């Protein structure tokens, strides 16, 4: 079951879940994610790449090298809903 694997992947890191929750509220830039989470740029970048690779988020302007906007994907929303069911 692929969905269980994705739920487990996100659940293993509070930071992944935190970033998905931030992105679920709307489009946001990496720098704003850094401010909201108090994480270093490298840490946020790594998590965003992981979430992108699993299709949980979308980069709206991948051609821009310096200021990218991210949003949650349908798959990411579904995983977040399932995680919230588990944690409630």
Q: pTM of the entire structure? A: 0.90
What structural domains and CATH numbers belong to the chain?
2-78 (1.10.10.10)
Q: Three-state secondary structure along the chain?
A: CHHHHHHHHHHCCHHHHHHHHHHCCCCEEHHHHHHHHCCCHHHHHHHHHHHHHCCCEEECCCCCCCCCEEEECHHHHHHHHHHHHHHC
CB 4 within 8 A of CB 77: no
Quote the CA–CA distance of 59 and 46 in Å, as a whole number: 14
Work out the pLDDT band at 9, boundaries 50, 70, 90. very high
- Average of per-residue pLDDT values in the chain: 92
Q: What is the pLDDT of residue 88?
A: 55
Q: What is the pLDDT of residue 60?
A: 93
């Amino acid at each position: 079951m692929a969905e269980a694997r994705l739920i487990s992947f996100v659940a293993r890191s509070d930071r992944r879940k935190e970033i998905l929750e931030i992105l679920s509220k709307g489009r946001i830039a990496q720098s704003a994610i850094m401010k909201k989470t108090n994480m270093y740029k490298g840490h946020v970048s790594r998590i965003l790449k992981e979430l992108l690779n699993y299709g949980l988020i979308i980069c709206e302007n991948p051609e821009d090298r310096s200021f990218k906007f991210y949003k949650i994907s349908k798959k990411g929303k579904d995983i977040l809903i399932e995680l919230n069911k588990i944690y409630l």
